Amino acid sequence: MKIGVIGAGAAGLIAGAFAAKGGARVDIIDRNEKTGK
């Protein structure tokens, strides 16, 4: 399964981590260059 997460803030990173832990391929997209903002 492939999942796209829009936003690399805390919620987006946690959602992506849980999805990846469940076996999904995750792409996290954000307009900022640094994550967690």
Q: Which amino acid is at 4?
A: G
Tokens 């399964």 identify what position?
A: 1
Dist CA 34 CA 21 (whole Å): 22
Dist CA 13 CA 32 (whole Å): 14
pTM (global) more than 0.85? no
Whether the per-residue pLDDT at 36 is higher than 80: the answer is: no
Tokens 């992506």 identify what position?
A: 16
- Residue 3 is predicted with a pLDDT of 98
Could you count the other beta carbons within 10 Å of the beta carbon of residue 26?
19
The model's pLDDT over 2-33, given as tens digits with 9 standing for 90+, comes to 999 999 999 999 999 999 999 999 999 999 88
